[in-house]
Amino acid sequence: MLKIYNTLTGKKEPFEPLVPKTVRMYVCGVTVYDYCHIGHARSALVFDVIRRYLEYAGYTVEFVKNFTDVDDKIIKRANEEGVSCEAITTKYIDAYYEDMGKLSVRPAWREPKATDSMADIIALIDKLMNKGMAYQVDGDVYFQVERYPDYGRLSKRKLEDLQAGARVEVDERKRHPMDFALWKSSKPGEPSWESPWGPGRPGWHIECSAMSIKHLGETFDIHGGGMDLIFPHHENEIAQSCGATGKEFARYWIHNGFVQINQEKMSKSLGNFFTIREIFFSDQGLNESKQALDGFYDLFNRLAEPDGRSSADPSLEEAVEQTRAMFQQAMDNDLNTPAAVAQLQKLRGQVNKLLQQGLSTHARQRARQAFRSVGTVLELFQLDKWQFGDKAVPLKGEQITAMAGQLTPSNHMSDEQIKAKIAERAEAKKRRDFKVADAIRVELASEGVTIEDKPDGTSRWKR
């Protein structure tokens, strides 16, 4: 049985959807004012894998992921560029789909925009007003956190201990420092919508509650997002949703962790911040992942070669079925993808040995089909033609130059030159100049040299 760590309860729990064999899942999407960075990519990939595994396990998944397309950052970007907010959001929604396509992240079942959900947002706020859980001040509407006794149960914080923090605007008009905006009165030059409280636009938190309830119902199975959204965003979603409906909002809360670059959290202040588009040129992890894939694709190319024998190999069937069982066991354990990938690596080793002993054409086809079938959960091995291994196309000189500055591959590097480059890379890493370090790795890769970084900080290499 699938077990998932539930942030709400703080423990790993058996997963049982409200409707048998149907999973309803909502994940907070991006605010579309800029290109997506790899933190967005991580969240998108995590929940795409969760959706894929649930489907692999036989569930129908109603997966909703929103676009926040009205926000202070969007207004600021539009003013800076002298264009409409719609022009900004259209540009970056298109860019989002392009980036997700490169990552093989499938579109969600529903992908609503906040601006298309305004009637639902206003209706939900009005419901809170009528129940006495929200109040109006000068055209603004606030949720009154003291009217929801369970406030803080997701983030494990007590209301009396909370102070107005960096992400909560201090406003003397509020009845409690943690009261949050449901509706903001319009300012000159900003987009606005008519409401019972005057023209304005919604607060961030109410958008997600309204869109998830509209498409999935007042209570659904899974709500997800990055762990940075636990407080205040998801905490506030729970308070306003439960306050409005009197029902539990989401039953399982799943949060993905932060992206780390060279053992540090990715952030703009540290200068280790990359957009999705940038990582398609250079990154140590990408190079290492490609090397791992090369091993699989080399095997698949050999499996494609015919063999004269016609009977299947029982040892292969045993290995395949064991891999399926262990793969599912790993994924059922809180979606443990590293352990699941390890099972695929183990099967690769077993098939390599069987191939050396001799596999029939039927068994070779069966092996390829098994990798493709299990790999679909992680979007692995789905290409019709294997494009890696010895059939890979090396980076062109201009691509390397664009990524790493002025590099001049010699095509005939001596061992001494390679060692010098590796020493140069080590120095770059010490001074935290990771862009140069990655550029050197790519330069060496263009010469056919691969580097493996060891846990003690040293590196080894091979041609």
Q: Which residue do the tokens 């070779």 mark?
A: 364
DSSP code for 234: I
Distance CA 217, CA 212 (A): 7
What burial class does residue 194 get, using C-beta atoms within 10 Å of its C-beta: 0-12 exposed, 13-18 middle, 19+ buried? exposed
Instruction: List, in sequence order, the alpha helices (H) in 172-313.
Output: 204-216, 235-245, 276-279, 284-303
The number of helices, as runs of H, and strands, as runs of E, in the chain is 14, 14
The C-alpha atoms of residue 205 and residue 232 are separated, in whole angstroms, by: 9
- The residue among 104, 89, 94, 92 whose CA lies nearest residue 41 is 104
Domains and their CATH numbers in the chain: 3-277 (3.40.50.620), 286-389 (1.20.120.640), 397-462 (no CATH)
d(CA 272, CA 343) in angstroms, rounded, equals: 32
The two structure tokens encoding residue 333? 């354990």
| Adjacent-strand bridge partners of 13 | 4
Per-position pLDDT tens, the chain of length 463: 999 999 999 999 999 999 999 999 999 999 999 999 888 999 999 999 999 999 999 999 999 999 999 999 999 999 999 999 999 999 999 999 999 998 999 999 999 999 999 999 999 999 999 999 999 999 999 999 999 999 999 999 998 888 645 344 567 889 999 999 999 999 998 999 999 999 999 999 999 999 999 999 999 999 999 999 999 999 999 999 999 999 999 999 999 987 766 556 555 445 556 777 766 664 566 677 778 888 898 899 888 887 766 666 889 999 999 999 999 999 999 999 999 999 999 999 999 999 888 888 889 989 999 999 999 999 998 876 655 444 443 333 333 333 333 333 334 678 888 889 888 888 888 887 777 887 787 778 767 787 777 656 667 787 7
Q: What is the DSSP letter of 174?
A: S
Buried b (16+ CB within 10 A) or exposed e, 436-463: bbbbbbbbbbbbebbbebeeeeeeeeee
How far apart are alpha carbons 216 and 63 in whole angstroms? Answer: 9
> What's the chain's length in residues?
463
Q: What are phi and psi of 129, to 5 degrees?
A: -60, -45
Contact predicate 211/66, CB 8 Å? yes
Whether 31 contacts 68, CB under 8 Å: yes
User: What Cα–Cα distance (Å) separates residue 135 from each residue in 115, 179, 233?
Assistant: 23, 10, 19
